[in-house]
Amino acid sequence: MYRATSKNVPLHPLTTVCFPSFIFLYASTFLVLSILSFQFRSAYILLNFWSRSPDICVDLFELIPSYSKFPLEIFVMDSYEDGCMYIILTPLDATRHRYHWGIYVSVSDTYGMLYHVTNSSGQWVFEEHMTENVISSRSIVAALQIGSGIQNDTADTAHRIMAAVPVISDGSHDSKWGEDFTCRVWVLEAVERLRQQRLVANEEAREVQDDAFRLARSATSTGQKKMGQSSGVRRQTHRG
């Protein structure tokens, strides 16, 4: 007959190896599944949001990934420089960071050319006209400089390029940019075409977009109109 003893029975060598490995494998699997679950939930929320969004000219800062790695220099809006090109943003809903986007070419300290698309009639249409209203506008909160030296021949070239940017009148999906057409998407395409012709700083359109969003958000959070230079313009300035 065997008797129970109080002696410790040594663990089998495989037990000392396999048990920690099992714990590590279990923890790793749990972590991966948690991350995937979060990603799927985030994707569902975004898709659900965009599926319910009306075809109006709005954009949310929080839903746009950051592409710019260069610090953004911001200063209170003073004056537009002659021959410079700007992305200008007007808030539609400041609390939710929704903006109307356009491009402004300053001809002098009193007037310039405005380019943008609007859908006030229910269909997106391109508009361009000389204006004195941008300088004195109370609604424009942010102006991001994206180029300079836009005068005479270069101004004519820039005009032709922006007038030729496609407009998806019904606001349907833009396959190039991977989202529904809005005034912001039109600006993205315009900036990309201007960059290809070296009329604006050499930087990705998405990077310009990110700088413009940050500038507008700073303006709406402080209640002051703000101006700034895009990452590409600042890089050119520092190299010069």
Mean pLDDT across the stretch 70-83?
69
In this prediction the pTM is 0.70
Please determine, for residue 182, whether its predicted confidence score (pLDDT) is greater than 70.
yes
Residue 121 has, within 13 A of its CA and on its CB side, a CA count of: 8
Instruction: Tell me how crowded residue 64 is: count the other CB atoms within 10 A of its CB.
Output: 16
Q: Which DSSP letter does residue 223 get?
A: T
User: What pLDDT shows up at residue 28?
Assistant: 61
Distances (CA, A) of 48 to 5, 44, 63, 194: 66, 6, 13, 34
pLDDT digits (tens, 9 = 90+) for 143-160: 999 999 999 999 999 999
Mean pLDDT across the stretch 7-31?
52
Please determine, for residue 209, whether its predicted confidence score (pLDDT) is greater than 70.
yes
Distances (CA, A) of 162 to 13, 44, 57, 67: 74, 35, 18, 24
Question: How far is it, in rounded angstroms, from Cα 48 to Cα 95?
Answer: 21
pLDDT digits (tens, 9 = 90+) for 27-63: 566 555 555 454 444 443 333 333 333 333 444 333 3
Mean pLDDT across the stretch 208-222?
92
User: What pLDDT shows up at residue 145?
Assistant: 96
Q: What is the mean pLDDT of the chain?
A: 78
Q: Name which of 6, 111, 98 is nearest 58 in CA terms.
A: 98
User: What pLDDT shows up at residue 3?
Assistant: 44
Question: How far is it, in rounded angstroms, from Cα 9 to Cα 151?
Answer: 90
Query: How do beta strands 85-93 and 98-106 pair?
Result: antiparallel
User: What pLDDT shows up at residue 237?
Assistant: 73
User: What pLDDT shows up at residue 73?
Assistant: 55
**Which SS3 state, helix, strand or coil, does residue 101 take?**
strand
User: What pLDDT shows up at residue 204?
Assistant: 94
Please determine, for residue 100, whether its predicted confidence score (pLDDT) is greater than 60.
yes
User: What pLDDT shows up at residue 49?
Assistant: 33
